[in-house]
Structure 1
């Protein structure tokens, strides 16, 4: 699951996701090709030691480059196709979102995650 966060100035990759990629870079910063519908961009990610309920966090830099409009209320990202001929919507999964939120709240309640 990928979290699109219009409030984040950086793209974040949890260390556990990084370990699953089996990449051995010199630093804990890497570039990956990010695909969303008809868009592809190479994005930089900072790898951090956190235990969130998502695999990647993509921030406002990517949001601005693909010129998309996220709606957290409706769990949808909307943007124009690269040739600007059609509107593309990418929908989030409400059930998965609620499950991830619940997992995060439980971790905070158990003292396992910082507030």
Structure 2
């Protein structure tokens, strides 16, 4: 997916219904031009499907725009570089009231009484 984080264009966002939370790699955080004082410290341990663990050291609140819908979102920031710029988990899916389709490669979201279809990259 593509969209905007705090008004800055962002591509390579992965919607993952198997992930409970939203994740941002430190490389994406740096590209946003954010400062360290905008990060909130945390020590959450994340566990992947294979049982491996990694630590999310920080939390960041941003405005995330996908299609024509903008929502405030919280991301756990991990040290390092990810394969995607952002991972959007069930936290975002439920807050956005959307239906992601991996088979059809698009996202259906509601805006008031209208349906918007957002194609994947």
**Correspondence 1:64-79 to 2 at 5 A:** 64-79=94-109
- Which of the numbers 64, 68, 87 marks the counterpart of 1:38? 68
CA drift of 1:50 comes to: 3.8
Q: Over alpha carbons, which structure has the higher Rg?
A: 1
Q: Distance in 1 between matches of 2:110 and 2:28?
A: 30
Q: Name structure 2 gaps, 5 residues minimum.
A: 1-11, 42-57
RMSD in angstroms over aligned alpha carbons?
1.4
Answer 1 or 2: which has greater strand percent.
Answer: 2
Match of 1:102 in 2: none
The number of equivalent residue pairs is 91
- What is the alpha-carbon distance in structure 2 between the residues aligned to residue 88 and residue 21 of structure 1? 27
Q: Deviations over 1:31-88 (max 9, x none)?
A: 000111222111111110243221001111111122100111111100222x21x211
Return the TM-score normalized by structure 2: 0.68
1:89: how far off?
0.6
Q: Whose relative contact order is higher, 1 or 2, with alpha carbons under 8 Å and at least 6 apart?
A: 2
Q: Provide TM-score, normalisation by structure 1.
A: 0.72
Larger helix share, 1 or 2: 1
User: Which one of the candidate residues 67, 89, 96 is aligned to 2:117?
Assistant: 89
